[in-house]
Structure 1
Amino acid sequence: MSIFIKLGWYFKQEWKIYLVGVFGLILTALLAIIPPRIIGVLVDAIHNGKLNASHLMILLIVLTAVAFAQYGSRYMWRTAIWGEAAKLEKVLRNRLFWHYTQMDQAFFQRYRTGDLMAHATNDLSAIQRVAGGGILQFADSMITGGTTLIAMVSLIDWRLTIIAVIPFPLLAVMARYMGAKIHIAFRESQAAFSRLNNKAEESITGIKVIKGLGQQKEDMADFDQQVAQTININRRVNRLDSLFDPMTTMIISLSYVITIVYGGYLVTTGQITIGSLVSFVSYLAMMIWPMFAVGMLFNTLERGNASYDRVMDLLQQRSGVIDDPNGVDQTPRGGIDYDVKQFNYPGDRRPALRDVQFKVSAGKTLGLVGKVGSGKSTILRLILRQFDNYEGSIKFGGIDIRHYKMDALIPAIGYVPQDTFLFSDSIRENIRFARPQATQEQVEQAAEKSDLYNQIKGMPDGYDTAVGEEGISLSGGQRQRLAIARALLINPELLILDDALSAVDAETETQILANLRAERQGKTTIIAAHRLSSVMNADEILVIDDGQIVERGNHEELMKLGGWYQEMFERQELATSVKGGRKNG
């Protein structure tokens, strides 16, 4: 029953509607007492030869009136209880989704997508069943069972009632014993579902890689193994679950045997009438649902309890990036003053950045280059406030970025990551994702700046072309340029390109960079790249190695140093000239 206590905050909030639902259940239970008694009266009238047309008509009218009244009372409790259960699911679903949007990068590194989806679907459905079916099973088993017992005692015979319900306490003993086992088993079942969900999501997302490396059979074998494990765990849940109904049936059957034997004795000795025995058997049949409801109740509660704990564990996770409610809410303008003495990723003792200092004035461009894993993207992640746990400060327009409200800071930054993500929508909607009110003219201007305009015009559906899931219908270069157009559409104070030109050819790269220099006068740009031609015109270039700045200067200065930059630039120039020679040859 602890799940009812855990959901007490919601029941207190919606107590009036639940009170209407419980009233409907009480009314339904009281009305249900009438038909069996009328049937008993009818049987006695037939047995005694006293039934006539007028008497029969009165009984039929009463039965019809009761049927209509039960229809109304059932409608009352169903709309109230099931409606509030759906509302609870909506509340929790919104809360969980909002929680996901507020969490930091570390959270999504700890939890895989499939697991988060399982919490948002399977677990919330189990909780919703507590607020709907659980309340119904609890209240109806008490109300229907209670009113039926009262009717059996007051309208038939108290001795027969006591004898008939002797087996009922066995059900409570069974439910208490099985409830704890089901709670543990169902928690394991939900965890297994999360793992299977993760595997399915990962395989579907990576289907190109799986097929490209010919690993379909191996991946299928791995999937089959996880399915088998999940089925085995669920079989244990089902075995425990299936013990409820047979035990309830045995208890009810035992009550029927007692009723027939002892009730027959009372009839033969003249202590009750045959009609009363018929009514009593009808009332005993009405006790079947409360008994089954008790079994279903413990099942529902244990499942909901396990799911509620899983969801609450997730909601209690706190982001390492805290949005200051009293922070600066004006749009940041100006340059970047970056001074990070040390930064470690959560759980990693080895510093990812050490003594990184630079300034980028408004209207200037900074280039970041270095080997894979050198720390370029980490520098950018801190500007985007994906992590706040660093020593030092990062100022945007003279104010520490941690002092800005997130709603003021993030819209001022146009970010194009290494891995471009596109939504399963049209090209137009993907470009204006961050600015839904943008006009067609503004969308086209952004496409021109990213050198995508002519290619879109050549497509049969133009800007209405569907890009497919994650932009599968577009080439890598088209996806990158679409993402650049999306960032440029908001005209950000700070534009960050994190290796965002790696999939375009040299000519396209040159055109895009020329467009950026022309369009972004007075605004700041940071470009991280592996291809040095992307940053050679930057006002300052930083060479990053092992989280530190090892070289800095403009292109000419770095070439004179004769270090890593010069060596890599000459290698790339040689590779480009060799490719050009092959094409010409």
Structure 2
Amino acid sequence: MSIFKKLGWFFKQEKKHYAIGVFSLVVVAIVQVLPPKIIGLIIDEIDQKRLTRQTLLIWIGVLILAAFTQYGFRFIWRTNIWGSAAKLERSLRSQLFHHFTKMDHLFFQTHRTGDLMAHATNDVSAVQNVAGAGILTFADSLITGISTIVAMVLFVDWRLTILAMIPLPLLAVTSRVLGSKIHVAFRDAQAAFSDINDKTQESITGMKVIKTFGQEEEDIADFEEKIQRVVQKNRRVNRYDALFDPCITAIIGISYVLTIWLGGRYVMAHTISVGQLVSFISYIGMLVWPMFAIGRLFNVLERGNASYDRIEELLSEETHIIEEEHGIATRAKGDIVVDIKSFAYPDYPDQVVLKDIALKLDEGKTLGIVGKTGAGKTTLLKLFLREYDDYQGSILFGEHDIKAYRLQALLAAIGYVPQDHFLFSMTIRDNIRFAAPKSTQTMVEEVAKLAAIHEDIQAFVQGYDTLVGERGVSLSGGQKQRISIARSLITKPELLILDDALSAVDAKTEEAILQHLQARTKRQTTIITAHRLSSVMHADEIIVMDQGTIVERGTHSQLLTNHGWYAQMWSKQQLEAKIERGEK
């Protein structure tokens, strides 16, 4: 029953609707004890040969009235109890989605997408059942059981009632034992479902890679293995679940045997009438539902309890990015000063990935960052975006530490184009104006031209209304990159970050995009990381990173005269370009 305490906040919120629902259940329970009594009276009058047509019609009218009354009040409790349960589902889904949107990068590294989806679907549904079927079953079984037992005592015989209830303690013991086992088994089953959910999502997303490497059969085998695990875990749940009904049926059977044995003796001794015995047996039939309901209740509660624990564990996790309560709400703007003493990822605190990074980038200037793969370029950019805050040192944006800004004020000032371009399953227009939904078509086309994608879009049959498919599946890598660049420009950011964002375009398109960006405004600060040095050659300053620190810095011409890594890589790339053009 602990799940009811955990959901106390919701029941308090919806107490009016639940009160109406429970009151309606009480009315239904009281009304439904009348038909067995009336049937018993009719049988007694038949037995005594006193039944008249008028009396029969009156009793039939009472039965019809009782039926309509039950129908009306059942409609009321269904509307209030099930309606409230739907509100709980909506509330939990909203809490989870809001929680997902505010969590940091580390959270999504720890939790798989399929697991998060399972929390938001299966687990939420299981908790909703507690607020719907759970409350209904608990209240209805309790009210129906009590009203039926009271009717058995008042309308028949208290001794017969006590005898019929002797087997009921067995039901409590059975429910407790099986309920605890179901709790553990269902939790394992939900975890297995999360695995298969994640596997499905991963396989669908990576289907091109799977087919390219001819791993279809292996992937299917892995999927089948996970499916089998889900089946095994659910079989365990179903095995315990299936034990409830036979146990309850056996207990009810014992009650019937005792009732018929003692009730028959009471009829023979004229302690009760035949009609009363028939009414009593009918009441025992009415107790079948409360008994079955107790078994179902424990099932629903244990499933909901396990799922709510999983949801609470997820919601209890806090982001590592702490936003200042009274932080700067004005959009960040100005010079950028970086002084990073050291930084290590939270998972590997002993492995320093950035150290002694010191640089100053004046407003409107361009910084190029180059280096080998794994040199720390993208990691440095993640600190600008506050994906990680646990570093020694500071990053100033307009004379204020970036941690002093409200997140919205900081991120609204940054246009970021990552290496892994993500497009939403919507039109090209909506993807470009994602961060500024009210942007006009003229504004959308303006940034598309800056990103050198406007002509490509016009070549599509539906132009800017073209649906790009999930993650932009219908577009080439270069087209996705340029749409991502256009999307970052639509908000007119103070700082534009291009993280190797020109790798999928040819040299001519790259040059056009860079020229457009340089000509757009002199007050937009730009940071470009690249493997192709032609992307940064016009930057006001270029830094070369290696093993998390700066090993070279200067302009393009200065770095060429240093004869270091930059100069060597420039010569190599120029030679490769000549070979591609067929020059000697």
Shorter-chain TM-score: what band? over 0.9
| Alignment match, 1:414 | 415
| Alignment match, 1:104 | 104
| Alignment match, 2:464 | 463
Q: Does 1:360 align with 2:371?
A: no
C-alpha contact (below 8 Å) 1:395/1:401 kept by paired residues: yes
C-alpha contact (below 8 Å) 1:366/1:527 kept by paired residues: yes
| Alignment match, 2:252 | 252
Equivalent residues in 2 for 1:231-380, closer than 5 Å: 231-348=231-348, 349-380=350-381
C-alpha contact (below 8 Å) 1:334/1:523 kept by paired residues: no
| Alignment match, 1:189 | 189
Mapped partners of 1:245, 1:531: distance in 2: 70
- Structure 1 vs Structure 2: percent identity of aligned residues? 56
Q: Does 1:576 align with 2:577?
A: yes
Mapped partners of 1:550, 1:226: distance in 2: 48
Mapped partners of 1:332, 1:471: distance in 2: 31
Post-superposition offset of 1:520: 2.7
| Alignment match, 2:440 | 439
**Alignment coverage as a number of residue pairs:** 583
| Alignment match, 1:385 | 386
TM-score (norm 2): 0.99
Deviates more, 1:45-54 or 1:24-33: 45-54
CA offset digits 1:357-413 (Å, max 9, x no partner) = 111111100001011111000110000011110111111111111000011111111
C-alpha contact (below 8 Å) 1:335/1:361 kept by paired residues: yes
| Alignment match, 1:527 | 528
TM-score (norm 1): 0.98
CA offset digits 1:184-238 (Å, max 9, x no partner) = 1111111111111111111111111111011111111111111111211111111
Post-superposition offset of 1:239: 0.6
Mapped partners of 1:95, 1:415: distance in 2: 27
Query: Deviating runs (4+, > 4 A) in structure 1?
Result: none
| Alignment match, 1:477 | 478
Post-superposition offset of 1:268: 2.0
Q: Does 1:497 align with 2:510?
A: no
Match of 2:412, SS? helix
Mapped partners of 2:482, 2:382: distance in 1: 21
| Alignment match, 1:203 | 203
Mapped partners of 2:496, 2:451: distance in 1: 13
Mapped partners of 2:264, 2:138: distance in 1: 33
Post-superposition offset of 1:433: 0.5
Mapped partners of 2:366, 2:170: distance in 1: 78
| Alignment match, 2:77 | 77
CA offset digits 1:267-290 (Å, max 9, x no partner) = 222111111111111111111110
Q: Which amino acid aligns with 2:432?
A: I
| Alignment match, 2:33 | 33
Q: Does 1:59 align with 2:68?
A: no
Q: Which amino acid aligns with 2:331?
A: T
Post-superposition offset of 1:151: 0.2
Mapped partners of 1:27, 1:409: distance in 2: 59
Deviates more, 1:212-221 or 1:50-59: 50-59
Q: Which amino acid aligns with 2:345?
A: Y
Q: Which amino acid aligns with 1:146?
A: I
C-alpha contact (below 8 Å) 1:18/1:81 kept by paired residues: yes
CA offset digits 1:463-507 (Å, max 9, x no partner) = 111101100000000000000010111111110000110000000
Mapped partners of 1:342, 1:469: distance in 2: 39
Mapped partners of 1:575, 1:28: distance in 2: 85
CA offset digits 1:2-38 (Å, max 9, x no partner) = 1111111221222222111111111110011111111
Could you list the runs of 5+ residues in structure 1 that have no partner in the other structure?
none
Post-superposition offset of 1:327: 0.2
Match of 1:51, SS? coil
Mapped partners of 2:323, 2:45: distance in 1: 78
C-alpha contact (below 8 Å) 1:368/1:529 kept by paired residues: yes
Mapped partners of 1:440, 1:231: distance in 2: 52
Match of 1:71, SS? helix
Q: What is the RMSD of the two structures over their aligned residues, measured on CA atoms?
A: 1.1
Mapped partners of 2:58, 2:219: distance in 1: 72
Mapped partners of 2:437, 2:45: distance in 1: 76
Match of 1:140, SS? helix
Could you list the runs of 5+ residues in structure 2 that have no partner in the other structure?
none
Mapped partners of 1:325, 1:444: distance in 2: 38
Mapped partners of 2:95, 2:335: distance in 1: 37
Q: Which amino acid aligns with 2:88?
A: L
Match of 2:545, SS? strand
